[in-house]
């Protein structure tokens, strides 16, 4: 099955409002998606090499932009979003250009206030138990929150850090995460199984790095 087919099959594991919400999300994802290696990362202020610096670390700003798109909040390009919150810029000499969880939250909050559609965000540390961590994600989604997951990169066996937007999480025993993944051009059609999620969590734990969700509420 393709990821989208997987999403649709597992709608049977959802009920009531959650199912209706996922069906609507599947229709609207492509319009909300932001590809970190696409045009959203371009800026006239950056050279090609400086653009590359930001692009390889733009999963965070892209995830913030996806959240805002889903909430109908206008925002500038990813480089200008970095400038808004004092995040690392491609035209600066830095050892790394990834943004912090708080900087991602600030991006959403700053632009939501400017649009007079205030949104607040907070960080929730995920349990070291992968099953409990999965349930933390499901609980936030069931409460109608926008959820950004920060863990290992599930596309590379958990290595490295990566931000993705979670739009659905099916009930056990299926346990499929339906994602909008900024590193993929068609990332709005992406799903990950529980095993890959578990591997990503464990890799971050071994390296003493946080696994967390960023939860946004109107």
- The pLDDT of residue 8 is 38
Residue 148 has pLDDT above 80, yes or no: yes
- Ranges 14-18, 104-108, 172-176, 191-195: which has the least confidence: 14-18
- Say which residues have a Cβ less than 8 Å from residue 213's Cβ, sequence separation at least 6: 123, 124, 126, 136, 137, 140, 147, 148, 149, 150, 166
Residue 107 has pLDDT above 50, yes or no: yes
Query: Tell me: the pLDDT tens digits for 17-75?
Result: 555 555 555 556 788 999 999 999 999 999 999 999 999 999 999 999 999 999 999 99
Query: Tell me: the pLDDT tens digits for 90-101?
Result: 999 988 899 999
- The pLDDT of residue 11 is 45
Q: What is the pTM of this model?
A: 0.86
Phi, psi of 5, deg, nearest 5: -60, -40
Whole-angstrom Cα distance, residue 150 to residue 123?
10
Average pLDDT over residues 179-208: 90
Whole-angstrom Cα distance, residue 62 to residue 204?
21
Q: Is 102 exposed, middle or buried (0-12, 13-18, 19+ CB in 10 A)?
A: middle
Average pLDDT over residues 94-114: 95
High-pLDDT (> 70) share of the chain, %: 85
């Amino acid at each position: 099955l393709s990821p989208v087919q997987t999403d649709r099959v597992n709608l049977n594991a959802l009920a009531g409002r959650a199912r209706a919400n996922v069906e609507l999300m599947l229709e609207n994802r492509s319009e909300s998606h932001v590809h970190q290696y696409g045009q959203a990362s371009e800026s006239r202020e950056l050279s090609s090499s400086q653009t590359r610096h930001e692009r390889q670390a733009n999963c965070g700003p892209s995830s913030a932009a996806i959240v805002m798109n889903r909430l109908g909040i206008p925002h500038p390009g990813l480089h200008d979003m970095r400038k808004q919150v004092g995040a690392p810029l491609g035209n600066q000499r830095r050892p790394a250009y990834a943004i912090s969880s708080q900087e991602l939250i600030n991006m959403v909050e700053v632009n939501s206030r400017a649009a007079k559609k205030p949104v607040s965000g907070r960080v929730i540390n995920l349990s070291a138990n992968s099953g409990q961590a999965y349930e933390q994600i499901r609980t936030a989604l069931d409460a109608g929150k926008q959820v950004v997951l920060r863990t290992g990169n599930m596309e590379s066996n958990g290595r490295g850090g990566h931000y993705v937007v979670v739009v659905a999480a099916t009930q056990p025993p299926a346990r499929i995460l339906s994602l909008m993944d900024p590193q993929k051009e068609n990332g709005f059609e992406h799903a990950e199984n529980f095993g890959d999620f578990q591997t990503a969590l464990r890799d971050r734990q071994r390296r003493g790095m946080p696994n967390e969700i960023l939860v946004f509420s109107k």
